[in-house]
Amino acid sequence: MSTAFLTSILASALFGGVSVYGKPMPEGEPVSIARALAEPGAHAMPAKFEGRIAKVCQSKGCWLILEEDGRWARVMTKHQFFVPKEASGRAVVYGALSEVEVDDKQARHLAEEDGGGEPILREFRIVAESIEIRD
């Protein structure tokens, strides 16, 4: 069994309705993703962000969209761990937030994993070290 899977099981058992993927979630209060995106550049260092899970990669669970008040960021796991494809509800993410340009090939790939739609060539992104899903 993977460490991320065992961490998820342990978190659910101890905290009821909370699953953690990746590294253990650091202490501290998260900031709303909408508030963080209203302050561009203020969150380049790893921090905790919270919001609603709007979408999840339907191929492997290697990314999710964290959304709040119409503002969103794609949360990438860099294939270090995965979240369930059916994940929903609220999430807290620990990682660095930045605005990135997406090349055409990756944009098309992400659009396919998202179920179609127009490729997005510029987006806010969090490279996650830890994701906590609150059921």
Mean pLDDT of 41-52: 87
Q: Provide the pLDDT for residue 40.
A: 67
Mean pLDDT of 24-41: 92
Q: Provide the pLDDT for residue 135.
A: 75
Q: Provide the pLDDT for residue 16.
A: 60
Q: Provide the pLDDT for residue 51.
A: 98
Class of CATH domain 3-134: mainly beta
Q: Which of 127, 120, 103, 132 is nearest to 43 (CA)?
A: 127
Mean pLDDT of 111-116: 82
Mean pLDDT of 42-57: 91
Q: How far apart are CA 122 and CA 135, in angstroms?
A: 30
User: Two tokens at 129?
Assistant: 């070290």
pTM as predicted: 0.83
**Which residue type, as a one-letter code, is found at position 33?**
I
Residue 6 in this model has a pLDDT that exceeds 60: no
Q: Which residues contact 9 (CB under 8 A, 6 or more apart)?
A: none
Q: Provide the pLDDT for residue 116.
A: 76
Mean pLDDT of 93-110: 92
Q: Which residues contact 15 (CB under 8 A, 6 or more apart)?
A: none
Q: Which residues contact 45 (CB under 8 A, 6 or more apart)?
A: 96
Domain extents for the chain? 3-134
Mean pLDDT of 4-21: 60
